[in-house]
Amino acid sequence: MLFTRSKIFLASTLVASMALVACSNSNNDEKKDATLTASTPATGEASNLSERNAQQRLIDTLQSNLQKANINAKVTGVKATEVPNLFWVSFEGMPAVYATADGKYIFQGDVVRLGEKQLFNVGDTLQAEANKKLFDQLKTEDLLIYKAKGKTKHVVYVFTDVSCPYCHKLHEQMDDINARGIEVRYIAWPRGEQHMPMMETIWCSKDRRAAFDKAIAGEQIEPASCKNPVRSMYEMGLNIGVNGTPAIYNAEGKHIGAYMSASELESALK
């Protein structure tokens, strides 16, 4: 982990964001894109130059302050939020955090906008945008896909682990889910190092789908090994804040819940 527990314990606060049932990680129960990355050149109109320079200074300041605290964290980008002087900061291998414009304070949690009938979480849209980019980069051959029956109405990405009882319950409803026009794309996310070998075996099996079906039902499967994407999928999950399974996201990258019935999933997607 880039942030040690004794320094900044960021990931644990994400538990509160999972409103529905999930198996915990056994290791640790219209707008213009204003993102500036460490490698983004300061190009474009002159009116944007000062803003880009300010964001680059924030990246440099954050990186320096983290290094002073002996925190080995790489800042990969910052993005302005709707809150004045508050930025969304992305890290390599860690969930995003908020930072003040001077780079002196960072925190993770919910920043909620008031004034309307429903509360609005400022970070939801920002995180979803980042998630979608990652999902779009996934190769279909690296996923475990259960296609919709008939016309595909929705696509969901589900971080899963065969050792998780709630993943089992969700998978039991796969026929019903697919019948509702929902395509499920499983991403391997072993909930601890001890579960990594099983997920790698499944992903290396000649018939990945058959192996997964058996394993999640508690049946034995044949050992298999190969070069596989399981660990990189696990790290991607950590990066976007996954801390339990199943973690369900829509095609736009929005986290829509943990375990839910087929009808609840359909309603959430609508």
Give catalytic residue positions.
161, 164, 167, 191
- Give, for 106, the enclosing helix (H) or strand (E): strand 106-107
221-240 burial by CB neighbour count: b if 16+ within 10 A, else e?
Answer: beeeeeebbbeebbebbbbb
Burial of 125 (0-12, 13-18, 19+ CB in 10 A): middle
- 91 touches 75 (CB < 8 A): yes
CB 10 within 8 A of CB 108: yes
Q: Which residues pair with 144 in a beta bridge?
A: 186
β-pair type (182-188, 154-160): parallel
